[in-house]
């Protein structure tokens, strides 16, 4: 068996962190077994479709560094890989189910379905279709079709018995057929529902492993029943715990920043995002916290997945991201910063000199401008006390003639502070505020060396 895995995101807006979390696990299983990893776009929910969202998905996958083997943008042996381009396929296969009495036409109006739903709720029952059209005669069906009556096609779910989803993470999960609705397979607009589309596509594309979030576990009996209705071999199922907030509520794009590209724009490195997501619901066998995507792809196993919901812990992500920033060489970090995190006012030469000073302080790349803006922009006006101005007056006089180096600056200022009977803390705090406009900054002496004597003296002159 050639192992084939996939992700099948819907283009409904952002590229979700959860998609990456699932994608890297599918990629690992495919790579470990010499198989293929496929990206398929499930765009049959036309009401939620967002123009341009497909491009966002692929931009995110490429930024994270996930190599895929087949997809809409590179094609492959089972093209097309976009569901809206496969509509004739679904219609053909759903007709097979109708011919074999595994599916049926449903002509119920929206009004009737709402009445059925309201009646069930009034009885405090789970709203389900009452199978009104399941037993129509062939003559009744043909009459409706001839009149071009709007209709959907539903799966004829067995009314008794049990459907079992064999899950490699959770073991066998049983569902009573009496609680499974006769779900719609083909909508009135000719588009398949998720349930029909995903099963037909996974079968035709020879997907062997369905590794997805646990939110799809409740749909798994419907999918198993569709496989069985066609007489197809079942794939291997694995339903993974979904990412949660710290309060264990589900992460939602309406409430949380779950966008992959938003994290990129906020200055997180792809290596850090991958490392962070790798640790969700899984742990490194050597208990490592920092490891590469390549390492994860080689050692990830489904049997190490825990069913405890993984938590999006921003403090942990920040720590991981800072660790990766510090692992970069100064040249590498400057290159990363140059990709959108450094304003035009900061030249490449200036950036190269600043990087060693701020590297240890950066949590994300976006922190650079806040830490370093005083190097290329005049700091905002700050109010100085009488004591501060006395400190600055002495500092200005000494800085005008000392050797312009870290050693020269400190060798001139520190003894002077002692000679005046001052404390280092207040003196250097005032100097830092005057020169940088900040109470906290990169090392002050090294910063002044980069700024240059003329600029430092000019800033002190304004404050004295």
HSE-CB at 228 with a 13 A cutoff on CA atoms is 14
Q: Give the 3-state secondary structure of residue 186.
A: strand
pLDDT digit string, tens, across residues 11-57: 988 899 999 999 999 999 999 999 999 999 999 888 888 999 999 99
Whether 126 is covered by a domain: the verdict is yes
Whether 438 is covered by a domain: the verdict is yes
Whether 264 is covered by a domain: the verdict is no
How far apart CA 157 and CA 166 sit, in angstroms, is: 19
Q: Give the 3-state secondary structure of residue 121.
A: helix
β-pairing, 36-39 vs 4-7, is parallel
* Contacts of 337 by beta carbon, 8 Å cutoff, 6+ apart: 351, 355, 365, 368
Whether 178 is covered by a domain: the verdict is yes
pLDDT digit string, tens, across residues 412-446: 999 999 999 999 999 999 999 999 999 999 999 99
Whether 282 is covered by a domain: the verdict is no
Tell me the CATH number at 168. Answer: 3.90.800.10
- The number of angstroms, rounded, from the C-alpha of 6 to the middle of its chain's C-alpha atoms is 16
Which of 339, 374, 409 terminates a domain? The answer is 374
Q: Which of 101, 123, 187, 253 is catalytic?
A: 253
What pLDDT is attached to residue 257?
A: 86
Q: How many domains does the chain have?
A: 3
Helix, strand, coil % in the chain, rounded to nearest 5: 50, 10, 40
How far apart CA 459 and CA 90 sit, in angstroms, is: 72
Tell me the CATH number at 411. Answer: 1.10.10.350
pLDDT confidence tier of residue 296, bands split at 50, 70 and 90: very high
What angle (nearest 5°) sits at the alpha carbon of residue 391, between those of residues 388 and 394?
Answer: 150
Same domain, 340 and 402: no
Q: Is residue 292 within 8 Å of 271, Cβ to Cβ?
A: yes
Domain housing 146? 87-186
* Contacts of 370 by beta carbon, 8 Å cutoff, 6+ apart: none
Average of pLDDT values for 152-156?
Answer: 98
β-pairing, 162-167 vs 171-176, is antiparallel
pLDDT digit string, tens, across residues 162-203: 999 999 999 999 999 999 999 999 999 999 999 999 999 999
Which of 162, 186, 210 terminates a domain? The answer is 186
* Tokens encoding 315: 């403090």
Q: Give the 3-state secondary structure of residue 280.
A: coil
Q: Is residue 355 within 8 Å of 333, Cβ to Cβ?
A: yes
Which of 167, 186, 205 terminates a domain? The answer is 186
pLDDT confidence tier of residue 292, bands split at 50, 70 and 90: very high
pLDDT digit string, tens, across residues 308-349: 999 999 999 999 999 999 999 999 999 999 999 999 999 999
Task: Please choose, from the candidates 341, 297, 295, 378, the residue with its C-alpha nearest in 3D space to the C-alpha of residue 25.
Answer: 297
What pLDDT is attached to residue 381?
A: 85
What pLDDT is attached to residue 254?
A: 67
Same domain, 390 and 369: no
Whether 4 is covered by a domain: the verdict is no
How far apart CA 451 and CA 356 sit, in angstroms, is: 14
Whether 341 is covered by a domain: the verdict is yes
What pLDDT is attached to residue 262?
A: 96
How far apart CA 445 and CA 448 sit, in angstroms, is: 5
How far apart CA 33 and CA 372 sit, in angstroms, is: 47
Same domain, 401 and 440: yes
Same domain, 348 and 399: no
Same domain, 415 and 454: yes
Q: How many CB atoms lie within 10 A of CB 142?
A: 12
Q: Is residue 260 within 8 Å of 15, Cβ to Cβ?
A: yes
Same domain, 395 and 445: yes
What's the per-residue H, E or C state across 136-180? CCHHHHHHHHHCCCCCEEEECCCCCCEEEEEECCCEEEEEEHHHC
Residue carrying structure tokens 């715990």: 241
β-pairing, 209-213 vs 236-240, is parallel
In a 10 Å sphere around its CB, with 0-12 CB exposed, 13-18 middle and 19+ buried, how is residue 278 labelled? Answer: buried
- Does 389 qualify as catalytic in the annotation? no
Same domain, 420 and 457: yes
Q: Is residue 76 within 8 Å of 272, Cβ to Cβ?
A: no
> Helix 194-204 vs helix 220-230: angle between axes, to the nearest 10 degrees?
50
Whether 70 is covered by a domain: the verdict is no
């Amino acid at each position: 068996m050639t192992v084939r895995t996939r992700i099948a995101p819907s283009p409904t807006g952002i590229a979700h962190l959860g998609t990456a979390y699932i994608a890297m696990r599918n990629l690992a299983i495919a790579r470990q077994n010499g198989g293929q990893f496929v990206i398929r776009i499930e765009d049959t929910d036309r009401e939620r479709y967002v123009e341009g969202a497909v491009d966002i998905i692929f931009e995110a996958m490429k930024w994270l560094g996930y190599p895929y083997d087949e997809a809409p943008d590179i094609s492959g042996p089972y093209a097309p890989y976009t569901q809206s381009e496969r509509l004739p396929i679904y219609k053909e296969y759903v007709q097979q189910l109708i011919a074999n009495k595994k599916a049926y036409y449903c002509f119920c109006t929206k009004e009737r379905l709402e009445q059925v739903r309201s009646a069930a709720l009034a009885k405090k029952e789970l709203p389900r279709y009452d199978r009104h059209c399941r037993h129509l005669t062939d003559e009744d069906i043909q009459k409706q079709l001839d009149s071009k009556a709007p209709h959907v096609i539903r799966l004829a779910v067995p009314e008794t018995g049990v459907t079992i989803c064999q899950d490699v993470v959770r073991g066998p999960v049983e569902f009573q057929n009496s609680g499974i609705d006769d779900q719609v397979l083909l909508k009135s607009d000719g588009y398949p529902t998720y349930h029909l589309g995903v099963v037909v596509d996974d079968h035709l594309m020879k997907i062997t492993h369905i590794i997805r979030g646990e939110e799809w576990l409740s749909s798994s009996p419907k999918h198993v029943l569709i496989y069985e209705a066609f007489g197809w071999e079942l794939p291997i199922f694995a339903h993974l715990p979904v990412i949660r907030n710290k309060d264990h509520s589900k992460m939602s794009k309406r409430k949380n920043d779950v966008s992959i590209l938003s994290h990129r724009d906020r200055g997180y490195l792809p290596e850090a995002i991958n490392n962070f997501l790798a640790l969700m619901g899984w742990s490194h066998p050597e208990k490592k916290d920092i490891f590469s995507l390549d390492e994860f792809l080689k050692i990830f196993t489904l049997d190490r997945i825990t069913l405890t919901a993984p938590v999006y812990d921003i403090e942990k992500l920040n720590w991981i991201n800072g660790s990766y920033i510090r692992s970069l060489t100064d040249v590498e970090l400057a290159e990363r910063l140059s990709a959108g995190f450094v304003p035009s006012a900061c030249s490449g030469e200036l950036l190269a000199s600043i990087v060693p000073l701020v590297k240890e302080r950066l949590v994300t790349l976006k922190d650079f401008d806040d830490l370093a803006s005083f190097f290329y922009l005049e700091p905002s006006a700050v109010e100085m006390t009488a004591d501060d101005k006395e400190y600055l007056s002495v500092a200005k006089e000494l800085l005008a003639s000392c050797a312009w180096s870290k050693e020269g600056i400190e060798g001139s200022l520190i003894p002077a502070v002692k000679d005046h009977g001052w404390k280092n803390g207040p003196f250097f705090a005032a100097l830092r505020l005057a020169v940088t406009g900040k109470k906290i900054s990169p090392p002050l002496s090294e910063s002044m060396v980069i700024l240059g004597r003329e600029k430092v003296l000019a800033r002190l002159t304004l404050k004295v």
